[in-house]
Structure 1
Amino acid sequence: MLSILCKNPAFGIFTKETNFAKTAIQKEVVRTPQEEQAFISEMKEKDNMYTVIQVENRVVGISRLIRGELEMKQHVALFRTWLASEAQGKGIGSKIMEYTLSWAEIHKLHKVVLTVFSGNMVATKLYQKYGFTIEGIQKEQVMLNGEYQDEIYMGYFVNEKIPQPF
């Protein structure tokens, strides 16, 4: 059973995934449980989204939308997500996208942006399926496993409805 929880903190979610934390979420040092709790509280105070994805009472991912800090960018949110490898390919990514885009609409965001590494074609295709378009590419922006990858910038306009995927 899949649950998307808004209040349950993801303590320790990245401790076993240190390599992932350094690459996919771009953090050199993983937050402590106390730091993560403070981050979650700050997210809520700023009307940002922080969700925890559980399958059978096990945390398998997170998803968040972070509004721009400046008033002139409050209408735009940066989307970040992570899903454990064993939870991929089961439709959970689609559920995350549906929840996230619904949240963005309810919270009156105008635009959602994200970045994805060029080697992550599965995620890129998922984002495109839900209406994200490529807005730019930074060539050889990251080095993963000894190889350069491009960083792809994508955007989604909340009020521009597209047909829902099948």
Structure 2
Amino acid sequence: MKVINKNYTIHDLTYMIRTANEFDAKQLSDVRLQIDGETENMDRERGEAYIDESGFKQIIKSDREKNCNLFLVVEVKGRIVGFSRCEGNALKRTAHKVEFGVCVLKDYWGHAIGRNLLKESIHWVETVGITKMTLQVLETNAKAITMYKQFGFEVEGVLKKDKLLSDGNYYHTIVMGRFHKT
């Protein structure tokens, strides 16, 4: 699915949110690998479940062909610095919902990139008639949890001791959802 390009300027940084295209695949592979190494908020450690350029091309092509998927990128001066995806499916019992995921390079935190990716994704969800967004967030990511609640997400459950982090401790994953009627 495709959305209209939108520009933002936050704290002297101008960036564009747009639909991913196949030309982005190499940058997306590099950015995802870097982000996975910058924070423990992601599901993976650097290099795990690596997706190469051809893998991203296939994901982008597939998402473009499906009405229930949306792949957005954030571009700063021709460089991709973050992305988000809404992934749904065609099963009748769950076709009303998508799962949202987002990641932004650490150097670009503090510019409302994640917030604006979420805002654009919510707008898309409401436009295409999807009624539920879900996501998972690590319990230690209080800033993200607060933001999701501001956008109407509620805690739906807790996956206890779901992630083992580098400090040797287990942490919970918070499952959140946002429902709206069309």
TM-score by length of 1: 0.87
Q: 1:51 to 1:149 in 2, by over 3 A?
A: same
- The answer on whether the counterparts of 1:77 and 1:109 sit within 8 Å (CA) in structure 2 is yes
**What is the alpha-carbon distance in structure 2 between the residues aligned to residue 90 and residue 21 of structure 1?**
17
1:76-132 residue CA offsets vs partner (Å, 9 max, x unmatched): 100011011111112222211210100101111010000001011111111011110
**What is the alpha-carbon distance in structure 2 between the residues aligned to residue 138 and residue 19 of structure 1?**
23
Matching residue of 2:77: 56
- The answer on whether the counterparts of 1:133 and 1:156 sit within 8 Å (CA) in structure 2 is yes
- The answer on whether the counterparts of 2:34 and 2:105 sit within 8 Å (CA) in structure 1 is no
Q: 1:138 to 1:67 in 2, by over 3 A?
A: same
Matching residue of 1:149: 171
Matching residue of 1:82: 103
- The answer on whether the counterparts of 1:21 and 1:30 sit within 8 Å (CA) in structure 2 is no
1:21-74 residue CA offsets vs partner (Å, 9 max, x unmatched): 986144722111011100111112222100111123221111110013422111
Matching residue of 2:32: 14
1:121-156 residue CA offsets vs partner (Å, 9 max, x unmatched): 111111011110000001111111122110100000
The number of residues matched between the two structures is 160
Matched to 1:94, the amino acid is R
**What is the alpha-carbon distance in structure 2 between the residues aligned to residue 108 and residue 93 of structure 1?**
22
Backbone CA RMSD of aligned residues: 2.1
SS of the residue aligned with 1:14?
Answer: helix
Over the matched positions of the two proteins, sequence identity in percent amounts to 25
Matching residue of 1:164: none
**What is the alpha-carbon distance in structure 1 between the residues aligned to residue 39 and residue 80 of structure 2?**
15
> What is the Cα deviation at residue 158 of structure 1?
3.0
Query: Which deviates further from its counterpart, 77-86 or 16-25?
Result: 16-25
**What is the alpha-carbon distance in structure 2 between the residues aligned to residue 13 and residue 118 of structure 1?**
24
TM-score by length of 2: 0.80
**What is the alpha-carbon distance in structure 2 between the residues aligned to residue 91 and residue 22 of structure 1?**
20
Matched to 1:150, the amino acid is H
> What is the Cα deviation at residue 20 of structure 1?
5.3
Matching residue of 1:134: 155
Which consecutive aligned stretches of 4+ in structure 1 deviate over 4 angstroms post-superposition?
Answer: 20-23
Matching residue of 2:50: 30
SS of the residue aligned with 1:24?
Answer: coil
**What is the alpha-carbon distance in structure 1 between the residues aligned to residue 147 and residue 80 of structure 2?**
21
Unmatched 5+ residue regions in structure 1? 161-166
- The answer on whether the counterparts of 2:74 and 2:82 sit within 8 Å (CA) in structure 1 is yes
